[in-house]
Structure 1
Amino acid sequence: MTTVLHLDASARVGRSDLHAYGSHTRRLSARFAARWHAARASDPVLYRDIGQSPPAPVDGAWIHAAFTPEAKRAPWMQQRLAESDALVDELIGADLIVAGVPMYNFGVPSGFKAYIDNIVRVGRSFGFDRARAGEPYWPLLDERPRTLVLLGSRGDYGYGPGGRIEAMNHVEPAVRTAFGYIGITDVRSVAVEYDEFAGDRLAASLSAAEAAVDELVDTLLAERAQHAGQHAVMA
């Protein structure tokens, strides 16, 4: 089985295919999840709506607790880290992370930044030893393959590779960096553009993104079937 972690980070409620002011990223992530479920109904899915219920931002108490060795943590420290522990546990248990993450002012929404700050955590998702020869930091979530599917939306256009304003896109690069740092390096992405233009250009971008999502699901399903077949031969 493949355990799926489905995240939505949009501040908008509802999907743009069902609500006039709904979210494009919720639309894409729901499409991905539905297509995956249709093919693999027995796969467990955990859903977390970061857009509507964002994690608490990291503060001084969180930092104090996280950088205190676990055996020395006071009860209040355990309590302050409880939400972070739950988020990291969910991520560790997942094989496929599907994240709807729109671009807000060139970066990720504040709730998703809080999510990243809670999961990129010393001793839980990455290791650190200043006395370690070579690289003092190392990922802890690279013990088995995990895939991140990043589904985005942008008001303008040209943020993709080779685009006119690629350098202003701080969503995909930031997310790839953070997740890669903890060991999740297989990242696939699809994005809608032209949201602020509406009209035919937005409609065409949405149609292309939905087709890309469908193709991506089929590709990932095929990859997992091939991987399962290889394991069966080895067994």
Structure 2
Amino acid sequence: MNILHIDSSIQGDQSVTRSLSAAIVTHLRKHQPHAQVTYRDVAAAPLPQFSTDAFVTNSASASTRELAVALEEALAADVIVIGAPMYNFGVPSQLKSWLDALTIPGRTFRHSEQGVEGLLGDKRIIVASARGGFYGPESPMAALEHQESHLRALFGFLGVTRLDVVSAEGVRISPERADVAMRQAMAQVDQLQAA
């Protein structure tokens, strides 16, 4: 099994999603000890902004090569674990740049007479999500949730049918609420299927 581990939080050691994504990878490796892990921290080493260079297959620019490496890492992975905090109702811009590097016509999706066909159907995605407040379907803030919904929509477009979310909500309400959220999220990690 090849695991691609992506972190995108700017919070460093204080990051909830970094703790959760690391716990997820540890859980997977406990059941698949020979799994190979590739790690990419898009907050510490952001990818270049998406540009038309990404579509020029013979471009030799450093930006194009870096985006191509990110795409190849994702294509080589069986499981992609993504630490995705909610910033300003959506995903961090650094994570958005990584998602843009993945969404390439002819590589991860294609157009046909039947419509768009996603090409990543064999991938499993596990998102480690954290939100300062409450944005679930029953919340008054639900209409402002563009983090998990964005990831589900994009990976669905790319053909992914196996997407799990481990979520810690309300982590900025109070230290007590953060503790409860982390315990609940870690229980979700323990319930993840290993394969």
Alignment partner, residue 232 of structure 1 = none
TM-score by length of 2: 0.92
Distance 1:75 1:201, change over 3 A: closer
Q: Structure 2: 5+ residue runs without aligned partners?
A: none
Q: Give the structure with the larger strand fraction.
A: 2
Alignment partner, residue 26 of structure 1 = 18
Deviations 1:75-115 (CA, angstroms, capped at 9, x unpaired):
44xx5421121111111111111111000010000100111
Structure 1 stretches of at least 4 aligned residues deviating more than 2 Å after TM superposition:
73-76, 161-164
The answer to whether residue 189 in structure 2 is matched with residue 213 in structure 1 is: yes
TM-score by length of 1: 0.77
**Structure of greater Rg:** 1
Match of residue 163, structure 1, among 129, 133, 139: 139
The DSSP-based 3-state class of the residue aligned with 2:164 is strand
Amino acid in structure 2 at the alignment position of 1:26: R
Question: How far has the Cα of 1:10 moved from its partner?
Answer: 0.3
Distance 1:75 1:43, change over 3 A: closer
Question: How far has the Cα of 1:199 moved from its partner?
Answer: 2.7
**Within 2, Cα distance between the matches of 1:210 and 1:65?**
38
The DSSP-based 3-state class of the residue aligned with 2:191 is helix
Alignment partner, residue 140 of structure 1 = 119
- Checking the alignment, whether the CA contact within 8 Å between 1:154 and 1:192 is kept in structure 2 is yes
Amino acid in structure 2 at the alignment position of 1:185: T
Amino acid in structure 2 at the alignment position of 1:123: G
Question: How far has the Cα of 1:34 moved from its partner?
Answer: 1.6
Alignment partner, residue 2 of structure 2 = 3
- Checking the alignment, whether the CA contact within 8 Å between 1:31 and 1:213 is kept in structure 2 is yes
The DSSP-based 3-state class of the residue aligned with 1:81 is helix
1:178-193 aligned at under 5 Å gives the runs: 178-193=154-169
The DSSP-based 3-state class of the residue aligned with 1:57 is coil
**Within 1, Cα distance between the matches of 2:59 and 2:67?**
16
Question: How far has the Cα of 1:23 moved from its partner?
Answer: 0.3
The DSSP-based 3-state class of the residue aligned with 1:7 is strand
Question: How far has the Cα of 1:74 moved from its partner?
Answer: 4.9
Amino acid in structure 1 at the alignment position of 2:124: T
1:69-108 aligned at under 5 Å gives the runs: 70=57, 73-76=58-61, 79-108=62-91
- Checking the alignment, whether the CA contact within 8 Å between 1:99 and 1:148 is kept in structure 2 is yes
Question: 86-95 or 35-44, which moves further after superposition?
Answer: 35-44
Amino acid in structure 2 at the alignment position of 1:134: Q
What is the count of residue pairs matched by the alignment?
195
Question: How far has the Cα of 1:13 moved from its partner?
Answer: 1.1
**Within 1, Cα distance between the matches of 2:166 and 2:76?**
24
- Checking the alignment, whether the CA contact within 8 Å between 1:194 and 1:202 is kept in structure 2 is yes
Amino acid in structure 2 at the alignment position of 1:193: E
Higher relative contact order (CA 8 A, sep 6+): 2
Alignment partner, residue 42 of structure 1 = 34
